[in-house]
Amino acid sequence: MITKFDIVNKYLGIPYVHQGRELNGLDCYGLIARIYEDLGYELFDIEGYDKNWSFEKRNHLLVNYHRQWIRCKEPRMLFDAVLFKGTKNPVNHGGVMIDDTHFIHCCKQGTIVSRITEPKWEIRIESFYHLKERDIHDTN
């Protein structure tokens, strides 16, 4: 089983790259996707999302993406995702919880660990998200 130390050691310091999905550069969603890949799960990638798409195409992407997750008021287990609101309320950043108070995320400073209780993060929490498929694997 992968530990929080494995995750931090593998990803800490990787630079931020817009729409980055490789170890030479990640964005926040790329980091989330890579961590879940390490855990054995493939996430629906939102990289191709374009707000100018037709309603049907946007709806298809969002339905498939949201079908994978359970929204929670607090993390349910290690490596649950956390999403943050921007200044005008749409979600614009995310990370992965590595314990009750710390999350790893990729931002302009690169991949770092921050405290969820820091005021700049705490006031922006949109919600925590638990991958449904993890429950299926845990019960087998």
CB 104 within 8 Å of CB 8? yes
pLDDT given at position 87: 82
Which residue, chain included where needed, has tokens 């170890």? 23
CB atoms within 10 A of CB 93: 18
pLDDT given at position 139: 46
This prediction has a pTM of: 0.85
Q: What would the pLDDT profile of 47-99 be if each residue is shown by its tens digit? A: 665 556 565 655 555 566 667 889 999 999 999 999 999 887 788 899 999 99
pLDDT given at position 140: 41
CB 25 within 8 Å of CB 16? yes
Cα separation, 101 vs 90, in Å, equals 23
Fold entry, domain 4-139: endopeptidase fold (from Nostoc punctiforme) (3.90.1720)
Give me the residue spans of the domains in the chain.
4-139
- Distance set, CA 57 to CA 60, 74, 124 (Å): 5, 31, 29
